[in-house]
Amino acid sequence: MCGCQNPPSSGDVRMFRNQQRGSVLLSGVLVVVLSAAPAASQQRGAPAAPPGPTAEQAMAALHSAQETAEELGVSLSCAVVDSRGDLIALARMDGARFYTTDVARGKARISALFGQPSGDMADFGSSPAFQSFNETLSGPLYPFQGALPIMRGDDVIGAMGCSGAASQVDEDAVRAALAVFGDSR
């Protein structure tokens, strides 16, 4: 045998042409759908940013927490996040250890996402459910005392966390700074 293929039958040719027409039709539908997508998204507008502390408020709160830390003789890192846990502002005082920035942010994130003080999450933090949840996020959550939610009425609009001293001192610095946000409890 020479290994040559038999010529296509007329049925094979018709099937090939139908597949070509189907591909062209599908391509045309995709072009129409994809070209309409930007117009539809423009009509709806960009998604609204979550309500949260402004950058100006966040910076003022960080300054307030630093003043409290200086009065207490400690060096802290503090972070302010919005209601989704996205960072708004972060500051590390001279003398604060390098890892305290990540811990402050992680405390603030858990407080914002769950709407409670980070220290109240300690029991949940050791659960397998929390470990799985924590692994899916783009940054760690730390269920240690030192962060408080920022409230506007009954809504959590963000959180602030500090790290670098004893947990109660971290939280005291946050509590002193929350006045910057007005309605926060």
pLDDT in tens, the chain (185 residues): 555 555 656 555 455 455 555 444 334 433 333 344 444 444 566 666 557 899 999 999 999 999 999 999 999 999 999 999 999 999 999 999 999 999 999 999 999 999 999 999 988 888 888 888 888 877 889 999 999 999 999 999 999 999 999 999 999 999 999 999 986 55
What residues contact residue 137 under an 8 Å CB cut-off, 6+ apart?
85, 109
What span, in angstroms and rounded, lies between the C-alpha atoms of 80 and 109? 9
Residue 62's alpha-carbon distances to 67, 118, 123, 133, 174, in angstroms, are 9, 18, 28, 28, 9
What is the 8-class DSSP label of residue 121?
G
Can you give the pLDDT at residue 10?
A: 58
Can you give the pLDDT at residue 50?
A: 58
Per the CB < 8 A criterion, the answer to whether 156 and 143 are in contact is: no
The pTM of the full predicted model, rounded to 2 decimals, is: 0.72
**Encoded tokens for 5:** 């293929």
Can you give the pLDDT at residue 109?
A: 96
Per the CB < 8 A criterion, the answer to whether 64 and 169 are in contact is: no
Nearest to 173 by CA among 64, 60, 65: 65
Can you give the pLDDT at residue 136?
A: 80
Can you give the pLDDT at residue 58?
A: 97
Residue written as token pair 């972060």: 90
The CATH architecture one would assign to domain 55-181 is 2-Layer Sandwich (3.30)
Where residue 77 falls (left for φ over 0; alpha for ψ -120 to 50; beta otherwise) is: beta
